[in-house]
Structure 1
Amino acid sequence: MDYDKFIFCLEAVPDVENDTTTEVVKNLERLAFEQGITSIYKTCDTIEGLEESLNALLYEDHNFKDYEIIYLVMQGEGNTICLNEYYYSLEEIAELFEGKMTGKILHFANAKVLDLSQEEAQYFLDITGARAVSGYGAAFNKLTSIPLDKAFFGLFKEQGNVVEIVEELYKKHYALCKLLDFRLYY
């Protein structure tokens, strides 16, 4: 990721009206300070909020092409996300953003287990146009994926091939990758 590339982070919160600084925000600030990777952070508490935030990024932000990674911090399991106690399948999310994520990498923090079949992953990639979907197979069990997320994002500064980035991530952080069961669908 070049110095002019960004991360767009969307975190699910119980109520967007409550303005609190989460651990994710603090770590994105550290990422900017330590590695020079800029991010935009937004919260959502409904599927409409998720759609509105991503559409604003797509249609109103003239730098959208510079957002290589869409970082999603949300609860959920398998191939679903949970917003305000409602579960949405990644197929539903794919249909909301049909053809709108071309070349992007959607990365899920381990607040949600990412467990897709090959068919589900391919459907998501084909419909959205995303380059890859990544996340973790191990549930958030008092061990946050933030350190590994930061390392993953940092590797984009050095190279652009997502497979090589994941190989390098495993070389540098093998134990943590295995513990959290880092996954990449491309």
Structure 2
Amino acid sequence: MDQDKFIFCLEAVPDVETDTTTEVVESLEQLAFTHGISSIYKTCDTIEGLDDSLSALLYDDHNFTDYEIIYLVMQGEENSICINEYFYSLEEIAELFEGKLKGKIVHFANEKVLDLSAEEAQYFLDITGARAISGYGAKFDTVRSIHLDKVFFSLCQDEEDVIQIVEELHEKHFALCKLLDFRLYY
């Protein structure tokens, strides 16, 4: 396993001043202990906070090239995210991060449904430079994607080919992939 690849996780919360340990933080810690996959976790409560966090990573962290996955845990709908009750389309997000995500996989937890047309997905990939965008077509309040996310992140450490990653994910966890409707646009 290549331990030089990291995950950057950004979770939308109601107030960044409130210090809480979420299920996502606990799962990322578990991922580090069990699989040796390091991550940086940040929270945001505004679109400016999202931009500032990613810009700080991009410009201030000299290891940015080692961050293979940008993991976004945010509410939203098919083609938008919701931060503190404001909706932003993925087109707006793409323009905000124009050319800044070269070679990265942008992965959404199932806090939001990811349902993009081929044109919407291609626009996001072309504008940001991301290698792929992934997430889930189904959202359940009782079934969180974090366990499948951890498997996906682990597979991304071992394999470069996104098609191979998705095939292996489906082989290992077909029922959960089907239930949550795992999707990857590349």
> TM-score interval w.r.t. the shorter chain?
over 0.9
Tell me the percent identity.
Answer: 77
| Consecutive unaligned residues in structure 1, runs of 5 or more | none
Using the alignment, how far apart are the partners of 1:151 and 1:111 within structure 2? 17
2:159 is aligned with 1:159: yes
Counterpart residue number, 2:44: 44
Counterpart residue number, 1:121: 121
1:123-166 Cα deviation digits (max 9, x unpaired): 00000000000000001321000110000001122211111001
- Aligned residue identity for 1:169: L
Using the alignment, how far apart are the partners of 1:9 and 1:18 within structure 2? 18
The answer to whether the Cα contact below 8 Å between 1:133 and 1:184 also exists between their aligned partners in 2 is yes
Using the alignment, how far apart are the partners of 1:76 and 1:85 within structure 2? 9
Q: How many pairs were matched up?
A: 186
Name the TM-score, length of structure 2 as normaliser: 0.99
SS in 2 for 1:14: coil
Counterpart residue number, 1:22: 22
Cα RMSD of the aligned pairs, angstroms, is 0.7
Counterpart residue number, 2:175: 175
- Aligned residue identity for 1:46: T
Q: Which runs of structure 1 show a deviation greater than 3 angstroms over 4 or more consecutive aligned residues?
A: none
Counterpart residue number, 1:59: 59
TM-aligned CA deviation for residue 26 of structure 1: 0.2
- Aligned residue identity for 2:178: K
TM-aligned CA deviation for residue 9 of structure 1: 0.2
Kindly report which structure 2 residues correspond to 1:77-156, keeping only aligned pairs within 5 A, or say none. Answer: 77-156=77-156
The answer to whether the Cα contact below 8 Å between 1:46 and 1:84 also exists between their aligned partners in 2 is yes
Name the TM-score, length of structure 1 as normaliser: 0.99
Using the alignment, how far apart are the partners of 1:138 and 1:70 within structure 2? 20
| Consecutive unaligned residues in structure 2, runs of 5 or more | none
1:29-62 Cα deviation digits (max 9, x unpaired): 0000000000000000000000000000110000
